[in-house]
Structure 1
Amino acid sequence: MEKKTNLDDYLAGLGISDSADESPIDPETAYQSPSSPIEYNINPQEVVEQFLKGLCERVDSGLSVKVRMQENVIYADISGVHAAKMIGRDGRVLAALEVMCYTLLAKEAGRNDLRLHLDAAGFRRRHEDKLVQLAERIAQQVMKTGESFEMDPIPASDRRIIHMTLKEMGGVTTESVGEGKDRHIIVKPA
């Protein structure tokens, strides 16, 4: 992966621009049949690491990036005194960086089969811990009262954490209902 002089040049190289008629992913090559063997020549971990390190250098030279890959998940952690700059309000900057990393993986490494877990200053870890605690409290309430509990709409990644937590806990079942931004979880007694 070549080093670009600024972020705009880098994004333009990925096919990302202000122009609405440019598509960053070629629909002809975006999907390959699972029956055909796929050979990957570029290490996706290195692609993500180089991108995030370059971005962090431009934002704050005191930031550091650690990236590791386990099975089909790339874990990337941004740390440093001012790592909160990479989080943004309610994690919006972090979410945008994830989208950029997914686009980069598809464009540079030809990989759209990987999951990415991007964290900065422990934000995602703390957020996941809070979701697990919330799920456990709701499960206790549902088991105690025997009545279903309807949660407020939350993003898919948060719903997944709650579903997985309560599946392991037992005593309750979960169901996602609704469409789009109104999709939410209902926790019911088992």
Structure 2
Amino acid sequence: MTTVIATGKTIEDAVMKGLTELGVSRESVTLNVLEQPSRGFLGLIGVKPAKVELTLIPKRKSESVVTEPDRIQISSLAESISSVSEADPYYEASEFIKEVAAGMGLEVDIDIKKNRDGKIFNITGDNLGLIIGRRGQTLDALQYLANIVANKHSTSFVRIVLDAENFRQRRRKTLEELAERLALQVIRTGKEVILEPMSSQERKVIHAKLQHHRQIKTYSKGEEPNRRVVITPK
């Protein structure tokens, strides 16, 4: 078997499933994102997992491909480095992001800041909605690939968080406001509410927002990629 197609809640989940099936590491395959994950409104309709294609590399050189859900296709996004080099991993990741943006017809700048977990790359420029994508799906895919590029050039693990137009903070605020509204609904009706499938990071935002609420409680149920937060009366 030289090629597998795998699905998952996120691109990362799908990739890990494919690697497990092939029994190889990420450095041994090329990645093609066939479908970005999508989520229906409040989990009612339109839930679709991510779908990726992994192909074994016959030689020690590979390339990664990402596809934006709105038919924006960019090929040859990143050349995998077969061994760790002495290059600055953050510079290499930054140049990779700019190359991807150029493939979308965008010219961007990147402001790099440090936080306790790694580096935050804040992307600035025009028409950044193309890079953010629906609910940040394209931004998440680009973040995943940028981390792969950076870690190819580092002897220790590095972590990069991509942001654009302050999307991460705005998304967190949206989720917290959603949690508050649904908590009031649960109190008013006395019936539990099950949210749409979310990533573990987004589920943590909901749990954290409501963890000290006196009238409701939250928990997660289901298996990835369809794990959901449940808000229920105490």
TMscore range, shorter length: 0.5 to 0.7
Unaligned runs of 5+ in 2: 1-26, 32-53, 63-79
Structure 2 length as normaliser, TM-score? 0.56
1:20 aligns with 2:55: yes
User: What is the distance in 2 between the residues matched to 1:59 and 1:49?
Assistant: 16
**Pairing partner for 1:93 from 134, 138, 143:** 138
User: What is the distance in 2 between the residues matched to 1:149 and 1:59?
Assistant: 39
16 and 105 in structure 1: CA distance in 2 versus 1, 3 angstrom threshold: farther
Q: How does 1:1-190 map to 2 (within 5 A)?
A: 17=30, 20-22=55-57, 45-56=90-101, 59-60=104-105, 62-112=107-157, 114=159, 116-167=160-211, 169-171=212-214, 172-190=216-234
> Which letter does structure 2 place at the counterpart of 1:21?
L
Q: Deviations over 1:56-82 (max 9, x none)?
A: 455456421112121114222211122
Structure (1/2) with the larger strand percentage: 2
8 Å CA contact 2:124, 2:165 repeated in 1: yes
Unaligned runs of 5+ in 1: 1-13, 27-40
Structure 1 length as normaliser, TM-score? 0.67
> Which letter does structure 1 place at the counterpart of 2:196?
D
What is the deviation of 1:54?
4.5
8 Å CA contact 1:65, 1:76 repeated in 2: yes
User: What is the distance in 1 between the residues matched to 2:189 and 2:30?
Assistant: 53
User: What is the distance in 2 between the residues matched to 1:180 and 1:161?
Assistant: 17
8 Å CA contact 2:147, 2:158 repeated in 1: no
Query: Aligned to 2:219, what secondary structure does the other structure show?
Result: strand
Query: Aligned to 1:173, what secondary structure does the other structure show?
Result: strand
> Which letter does structure 1 place at the counterpart of 2:144?
V
177 and 61 in structure 1: CA distance in 2 versus 1, 3 angstrom threshold: closer
Identity among equivalent positions (%) equals 26
Once the two structures are overlaid, the 10-residue window that deviates more, 140-149 or 127-136, is 140-149
What is the deviation of 1:46?
4.2
